[in-house]
Amino acid sequence: MREIVLDTETTGLDPYADHRLVEIGCIELINHMATGEHYHQYINPQRSMPKEAFDVHGLGDEFLAKQPVFAEVVDDFIKFIGDDSKLIIHNAAFDMKFLNAELGWLNKPLIAKDRAIDTVQMARKKFPGSPVSLDALCRRFKIDNSNRTLHGALLDSDLLALVYLELLGGRQHGLILDPNAQAQSDKDQAVRAGQSSKPFRAPRPHVAKPEEIAAHQAYISEKITDALWLKE
């Protein structure tokens, strides 16, 4: 069974109010196990970035102006997600609305709504009345999200893959391929049982390359510094 964990970043909340995609991150799972295959793309929205959106993800006009427009990358994106793989998305209605708007403007086939598995709905059903943001679920499952100082589509997909597996019942739900992973699983279960003080840190289904994280964080840091300087 092939599934795609997917996240996007945008310029705002509504594609029909002149907002666009600026980043897509996807991670491939086979039988709930990461394969190492992923898709990641920054996108030129062909419009300016509102401050409210910049404060969320740190992607600004100068950086995005150098990226391809969606029409230039759409075929690679469609190829990666395939025709029928389920899409694991946190608050699926939001991301699906943007993706289908962009696809529709290019006369490309839309993504069927029933392909999406919404982890927000999964979490609300499992933990009624509790916070279900990605950060809240990472805290609940003791998943290390210390790199998530700002939103990023690939990093968030990475974390969501771990959250999704926990919502399904934990790593024992999937096939363990590595004997070392079985030992880690035992440690994880001990943590949940209160037998260890160390936080749960499951193997990352996809770890963004250090240079990718460093480049993204350096860019964000530079822009935040510039913004603070302009306020002085």
Active-site amino acid positions: 151
Beta bridge partners of 118: 89
Tokens of 45: 């929205």
Residues 42 and 125: their CA atoms lie apart, in Å, by: 33
Residues 60 and 48: their CA atoms lie apart, in Å, by: 8
User: Helices in 112-178 by DSSP H: which ranges?
Assistant: 119-126, 134-140, 153-167
DSSP-based three-state secondary structure for 146: coil
| CA dihedral (141, 142, 148, 149) positive or negative | positive
Of 74, 80, 70, 73, the closest CA to residue 109 belongs to 74
Name the region of 44 (left: φ>0; alpha: ψ -120 to 50; beta: rest): beta
Listed in sequence order, the residues at least 6 apart from 212 whose beta carbon sits closer than 8 Å to its beta carbon are: 40, 154
CB contact at 8 A, 77 and 83: no
Residues 156 and 148: their CA atoms lie apart, in Å, by: 8
